[in-house]
Structure 1
């Protein structure tokens, strides 16, 4: 049989095309393999406020936060490398007949304890006989899986201190559990030199404040033991080293409130570090500081290098509103600060940032952010 050279040429071109296609597919598979990814950039592709990341201890991470597509509840994302996130859907649903919570679902944190998962969160309590505008309380839900569904453990909040509370954070050691929360600013006017100054200028008649408290939790999370202890509050005097950055919501005429909220506590070499956020969460001056103590319930001393995380637009950057952070503890001992912020592109939408943080040899806490340039991948 005689075969023309043209026919052979067609066959050769076809075979070369198959090899070429296979090579392209292999290259695509390699490029999508996150194990060879060398860097990442902020913000991450997650539109959350108040982000919290759980290291599940099995090579996977789960992120929870305010918003993110959830209706009357919370959604979750999962990741194997902290930078590429997959949407897992809604994991907790409130505002049902059985739920104590009706609306304003904020700041979920999930803890893995003896193989089960516990979600602490803030929401508006249905029991509201005086029809308060802010009737926030803290509840707890449980699940056998980090992706839910989470079911409320009790048909009421963990406890009622007599004022609205938000931003739960839980710490445990030596068989004891501690709950930290922020008393809302609502109907909490506080006398201070900053308040007097703002009144003299004719800006505000009063300044409301939120304060961070800590209290021991019952082991079954059904209530608290003892009375809450005041841990952090805004400064009283204007010459206080912390007064300038913690009062910007007032001095920049954003609103007549000073916040101390979004607290998160951890222990490093026998010292307790409590990070917290100040200023208006919806404003550009939202920022993070920290304080230290030798006891989980204080007294706490605020750090000289505060704030450790703030807007960078005055330095030529594009990030504002950096706050309500949490900490990711890596298996190799590294720490990362996860927080929300805003960029010029995101506008008022809060997006998630992840930046390395460390405790220096002298005990100083440093957050290497906010960044928008390429960073080394977490290990």
Structure 2
């Protein structure tokens, strides 16, 4: 009995010391990571008035900056600040994001922000649009992948104008929608495919996406390939590649693919808060394996799942 009591005391002291050290799990949904000059910048959904930014030089220890990267009033939107993505073009940084269930693009001279619009406006196409991801092709052309709300959440693409101010609506093309069993385990009348991320390996385009409602424990990630940024897209037969079956956590999905300083590939995403509670969703990462070619087979490396944490 004394031995058991001692174990409890020691466990409590260890946990207390851990808490005092400031190691807390980051709680951002729809996360994305931008890397430049030996620094990783993490953004995501979690602030009702915009987007904060965390930084790390090793992907192990993260710091939340005092000032937000984008604050309501400095750019388009009043509420529903969701799913940001940051990229660099020439000497400026851009953030594509959702607000008021529309998509906007703000700019800054630093990845820390502040990201602003001199004229507050969304992408001009009508209808509700969320989850932007801007992909720059090897020929320098930019494409906006995003979700449109109609007969479910469906992923579309359109060319961006050269000044990144808006899309060329004549190029708007549907990419994929949820139609396979794993993509709609609840048999919902509103099937969901969302959270697009696109990369190019060799001559092929890889579109990563999440399926099912984010509140569903079966929220998961798959990918599709194409020889053109417009498609047609062929879904990988081994989908989903990321789900609660290989993370052990409900609601695993909606993230971003990125490469580290040494060229390793990772996927950052969110999970439910616990086995019984959805929010606040927690931010996690897994390492990816890329094998073969035309197309490459992409999979999650077993044992690499971990949550991102703040602190020393």
Question: Normalized against structure 1, the TM-score is what?
Answer: 0.69
Match of 1:168 in 2: 132
User: Which digits, 9 at most, give the CA deviation of each residue in 1:279-301, with x for residues without a partner?
Assistant: 01122111000000011111110
1:44 to partner: Cα distance: 7.6
Match of 1:297 in 2: 230
1:83 to partner: Cα distance: 1.9
Looking at structure 1, the residues matched to 52 and 84 of structure 2 have their Cα atoms a distance apart, in angstroms, of 10
Looking at structure 1, the residues matched to 164 and 123 of structure 2 have their Cα atoms a distance apart, in angstroms, of 7
Match of 1:358 in 2: 289
Q: 1:319 to 1:44 in 2, by over 3 A?
A: farther
User: Which digits, 9 at most, give the CA deviation of each residue in 1:53-86, with x for residues without a partner?
Assistant: 0011x1110000000xx33110000000112100
Q: Which 4+ stretches in 1 moved above 4 angstroms? A: 369-374
Match of 2:14 in 1: none
Q: Work out whether 1:333 is the aligned partner of 2:309.
A: no
Looking at structure 1, the residues matched to 226 and 238 of structure 2 have their Cα atoms a distance apart, in angstroms, of 16
User: Which digits, 9 at most, give the CA deviation of each residue in 1:154-212, with x for residues without a partner?
Assistant: 3211222x22010000111212110000012xxx34xxxxxxxxxxxxxxxxxxx1110
Match of 1:137 in 2: 102
Contact kept in structure 1, 2:54 and 2:64, CA below 8 Å: yes
Contact kept in structure 2, 1:311 and 1:370, CA below 8 Å: no
Q: 1:370 to 1:143 in 2, by over 3 A?
A: farther
1:72-91 mapped onto 2 (5 Å cutoff) = 72-89=49-66, 90-91=68-69
Q: 1:281 to 1:302 in 2, by over 3 A?
A: same
Q: Work out whether 1:122 is the aligned partner of 2:98.
A: yes
User: Which digits, 9 at most, give the CA deviation of each residue in 1:124-146, with x for residues without a partner?
Assistant: 0xxxxxxxxxxx11001111111
Looking at structure 2, the residues matched to 369 and 66 of structure 1 have their Cα atoms a distance apart, in angstroms, of 27
1:263-342 mapped onto 2 (5 Å cutoff) = 263-312=196-245, 318-342=248-272
Q: Work out whether 1:64 is the aligned partner of 2:43.
A: yes
Looking at structure 2, the residues matched to 297 and 221 of structure 1 have their Cα atoms a distance apart, in angstroms, of 18
Looking at structure 1, the residues matched to 60 and 70 of structure 2 have their Cα atoms a distance apart, in angstroms, of 23
Contact kept in structure 1, 2:143 and 2:158, CA below 8 Å: yes
Q: 1:326 to 1:44 in 2, by over 3 A?
A: farther
Looking at structure 2, the residues matched to 101 and 369 of structure 1 have their Cα atoms a distance apart, in angstroms, of 40
Match of 2:154 in 1: 211
Contact kept in structure 2, 1:44 and 1:351, CA below 8 Å: no
Structure 2: gaps (5+ residues): 1-20, 308-312
Looking at structure 1, the residues matched to 143 and 264 of structure 2 have their Cα atoms a distance apart, in angstroms, of 24
Match of 2:18 in 1: none
Equivalenced residues, count: 281
Looking at structure 2, the residues matched to 44 and 365 of structure 1 have their Cα atoms a distance apart, in angstroms, of 30
Q: Work out whether 1:92 is the aligned partner of 2:70.
A: yes
Q: 1:101 to 1:344 in 2, by over 3 A?
A: closer
Looking at structure 2, the residues matched to 299 and 71 of structure 1 have their Cα atoms a distance apart, in angstroms, of 36
Contact kept in structure 2, 1:286 and 1:320, CA below 8 Å: yes
Query: Alignment partner of 2:69: what SS?
Result: strand
Question: Normalized against structure 2, the TM-score is what?
Answer: 0.84
Q: 1:361 to 1:279 in 2, by over 3 A?
A: same
Contact kept in structure 2, 1:292 and 1:302, CA below 8 Å: yes
Looking at structure 2, the residues matched to 62 and 373 of structure 1 have their Cα atoms a distance apart, in angstroms, of 17
Q: Work out whether 1:101 is the aligned partner of 2:44.
A: no
Contact kept in structure 2, 1:142 and 1:153, CA below 8 Å: no
